[in-house]
Amino acid sequence: MTKKTTATSTEIKKALAKKHGEREFFMTEVKNGPTGVAPGELLQFDAVAIYKSWTRPQIRGYEIKVSRSDFMRDNKYSRYLPYFHEFYFVVPSGMVQRQEVEENIGLMWYNPETGTLTTKKKAVWRNIEIDALMLLYIIMNRLDSDRLPFYSTKAEYWEDWLAGKISNQELSYKVSSKLVERLGELERENNSYRYFKEEREELQQIHGILQKHGINAWYNAPEAIDKALTRSYPSKLDTVQSQLQRVIEEIEKLKALKKEGES
pLDDT, position 95: 92
What is d(CA 115, CA 7) in angstroms, rounded to the nearest whole number?
Answer: 9
What is the tens place of the pLDDT at every residue in 9-58?
989 999 999 898 877 888 888 888 876 665 667 888 999 998 877 777 78
| Residues 93 and 33 both lie in one domain | yes
pLDDT band at 88 (very low <50, low <70, confident <90, very high): very high
| Residues 133 and 243 both lie in one domain | no
User: For residue 10, how many other CB atoms are within 10 A of its CB?
Assistant: 21
What is the tens place of the pLDDT at every residue in 173-199?
554 555 666 667 777 777 776 666 777
| Residues 222 and 124 both lie in one domain | no
Our count of domains for the chain comes to: 2
pLDDT band at 258 (very low <50, low <70, confident <90, very high): confident
Its pTM stands at: 0.55
Last residue of a domain, one of 139, 166, 193: 166
Q: Does residue 150 sit within a domain? A: yes
**Mean pLDDT, residues 1-5:** 66
β pairing state of 86-92 and 106-111: parallel
Percent of the chain having pLDDT more than 70? 65
Contact predicate 215/224, CB 8 Å: yes
| Residues 160 and 229 both lie in one domain | no
**Mean pLDDT, residues 246-258:** 77
| Residues 16 and 130 both lie in one domain | yes
Q: Where are the beta strands (DSSP E) in the chain?
A: 24-31, 44-51, 58-64, 86-92, 106-111, 116-121
Helix (H) or strand (E) holding 248: helix 236-262
| Residues 130 and 218 both lie in one domain | no
- Is residue 158 scored above 90 in pLDDT? no
Facing residues of 121 across strands? 107
What is d(CA 178, CA 116) in angstroms, rounded to the nearest whole number?
Answer: 39
Radius of gyration of the chain measured on its C-alpha atoms: 43
Q: Does residue 23 sit within a domain? A: yes
pLDDT, position 62: 95
- Is residue 226 scored above 60 in pLDDT? yes
What is d(CA 176, CA 174) in angstroms, rounded to the nearest whole number?
Answer: 6
Backbone angles phi, psi at 160, to 5 degrees: -65, -40
pLDDT band at 93 (very low <50, low <70, confident <90, very high): very high
Q: Does residue 191 sit within a domain? A: no
- Across all residues in the chain, what is the average pLDDT? 77
pLDDT, position 203: 73
Higher pLDDT, 26 or 4: 26
pLDDT band at 99 (very low <50, low <70, confident <90, very high): very high
Higher pLDDT, 83 or 147: 83
pLDDT, position 145: 42
Q: What DSSP line would sit under 144-165, residue for residue?
A: -TTPPTT-SSHHHHHHHHHTT-
**For residue 145, what are the domain limits?**
9-166
Q: Does residue 81 sit within a domain? A: yes
Last residue of a domain, one of 130, 147, 166: 166
